[in-house]
Amino acid sequence: MTQQEKTDYAALALRTSLGAMFIAHACLKVFTFTMAGSVGFFESVGLPGSLAYLVTCVELIGGAALILGLFVRVVAAALIPILIGTILFVHGSKGWMFAYEGGGWEYPAFLIVVSFAVILLGKGAYAVPLGQTSMKSVDS
């Protein structure tokens, strides 16, 4: 395996795991907390309740795009403000460790770094081809 192939598979691993995480968090808002509960939570931290719908949609669509390898750099960059928002409005005051009550800012900060890595690496291997003949795409 060449170094380029290793890099392409590393990009695949990062983008699909990041995409899965965003989808999981969107599903958490919909199925566990319910949208009404998510709206209430957003309002409780001083954000407009309607923002819960926007964040959930962006997480769901963005996560799917990352998994599929569509517009990876743009999507990863677009998701960073959501992560910054979780630090500023929810986890920042809870301390560093995510295991603390209410969750600290360690995990969202780590996901910001992963998002930057995805931006730098691009889509890597096995992305949906846009005008290409092969599923194994290394173009960004």
Q: What is the pLDDT of residues 39-94, one digit of tens each?
A: 999 999 999 999 999 999 999 999 999 999 999 999 999 999 999 999 999 988 88
| Amino acid, res. 54 | L
Residues 9-44 have pLDDT tens digits of 999 999 999 999 999 999 999 999 999 999 999 999
> What is the average pLDDT score of the chain?
92
Count of all residues that appear for the chain in the document: 140
Q: Percentage of the chain with pLDDT > 70?
A: 93
Query: What's the Cα-to-Cα distance from 34 to each of 10, 46, 95, rounded to whole Å?
Result: 34, 19, 27
Residue 113, CA atoms < 13 Å, CB-side half-sphere:
6
